[in-house]
Amino acid sequence: MRAPTITIDGPGGTGKGTLALRMTRRTGWHLLDSGALYRVVAYQARRLGIALDAAVELATIAAALPLEFGGAEDRVQVWLEGQDLSDEIRREAIGDAASKVGALPAVRAALLARQREFLRPPGLVADGRDMGTVVFPAAELKIYLTASPEVRAERRYKQLKQKGIDVNLARLSEDISTRDRRDEQRDVSPLQPASDAIILDTTALDIATVEESVKALAQARGLV
Closer of 102 and 224 to ligand DC (Cβ)? 102
For ligand DC, the closer of residues 127 and 224 by Cβ is 127
Least Å distance, CB 183 to ligand DC, is: 5
Burial 119-156 (b: 16+ CB within 10 A, else e): beeebbbbbbbbbbbbbbeebbbbbbbebeeebbbbbb
Q: How far is the CB of 178 from ligand DC (least distance, A)?
A: 10
Which residues, other chains included, contact 100 with Cβ-Cβ below 8 Å and sequence gap of 6+? 42, 52, 53, 182
What is the binding site for ligand DC (CB under 6 A)? 12, 34-35, 38-39, 95, 98-99, 102, 128-130, 179, 183
Which residue's Cβ has the minimum distance to ligand DC? 35
Residue 197 near residue 121 (C-beta atoms within 8 A): no
Burial 192-223 (b: 16+ CB within 10 A, else e): ebbeebeebebeebeeeebbeebbebbeeeeb
In the complex with ligand DC, the residue whose CB is nearer, 90 or 224, is 90
Q: Based on CB atoms, which residue is closest to ligand DC, 199 or 216? A: 199
- What spatial distance separates the first Cα and last Cα of the chain, rounded to whole Å? 17
Task: Count Cβ neighbours within 10 Å for each residue of 16-53 and write b for 16 or more, e otherwise.
Answer: bbbbbbbbbeebebbbbbbbbbbbbbbbbbeeeebebe
**Cβ 130 to ligand DC shortest distance, Å:** 5
CB of 192 to ligand DC, least distance (A): 12
Comparing CB distances to ligand DC, the nearer of 30 and 129 is: 129
CB atoms within 10 A of CB 172: 18
Nearer to ligand DC (CB atom), residue 136 or residue 224: 136
User: How long, in residues, is the chain?
Assistant: 224
Q: In whole angstroms, how close is the CB of 42 to ligand DC at the nearest point?
A: 8
**Rounded least distance, CB 169 to ligand DC, Å:** 17
